[in-house]
Amino acid sequence: MKRIISTPNAPAAIGPYSQAIEINNTLYLSGQIPVDPNTGSIVEGGIIEQTQQVFKNIKAILDAAGYTVNDVVKSTVYLADMQYFAEVNSLYKMFYTSDFPARSAFAVKGLPLGALVEIETIAAKEPA
C-alpha cells in the first residue's frame, strides 16, 4: 500500500507534491532544493551551503520514512550550471561514502526558487 511521508524536519512542498512516497519497499523522494525547513527559504551562501542543505533535507526524509543513506539506490542531480559539478561531487562523496547509488547529473535551464542544485532520490529495501 502507498504511504505518504511527511516530516517538519524537511521543507514543506512548494507545489502539489509529497515529500516522499513509499510503495513496495521503495521510497521515492521528491527533488530536494536547498530550502531550510525552519525558514521556508533557500539557505544563504553558494553551491556548498546549498548542497549541504539538500543533503540535510534528504536525510530528514529518509529518517522520517525509516530508511538510511545505505538504502539509496538512485540519485538524480540537477545543477543550475555544470560549473558546480566538482563541488557537488565532493560533498556528495561525504554523504554517500561507498557503494554509491546509481546516478545521473544534468545542468538545467532553471530550478525552483532559483536554487543552484536539486537532487532526486530513490531508496529501496529488501522485502522483509
Contact residues: ligand NAK, CB under 6 A: 14-15, 17, 30-31, 33, 112
Q: C-beta of 32: minimal distance to ligand NAK in Å?
A: 7
Q: C-beta of 120: minimal distance to ligand NAK in Å?
A: 8
Amino acid, res. 64: A
Question: What are the grid coordinates assigned to 92, written together?
Answer: 556528495
Whichever of 15 and 127 has its CB closer to ligand NAK, that residue is 15
Q: C-beta of 24: minimal distance to ligand NAK in Å?
A: 22
Whichever of 14 and 94 has its CB closer to ligand NAK, that residue is 14
Whichever of 17 and 100 has its CB closer to ligand NAK, that residue is 17
Task: In whole angstroms, give the CA distance from residue 41 to residue 21.
Answer: 23
Write the CA distances from 16 to 19, 26, 32, 47, 127, integer angstroms: 10, 21, 14, 26, 30
Q: C-beta of 12: minimal distance to ligand NAK in Å?
A: 10
Write the CA distances from 106 to 18, 63, 79, 119, integer angstroms: 23, 27, 6, 10
Whichever of 33 and 77 has its CB closer to ligand NAK, that residue is 33
The answer for residues whose C-beta is within 8 angstroms of residue 40's C-beta and 6 or more apart is 11, 12
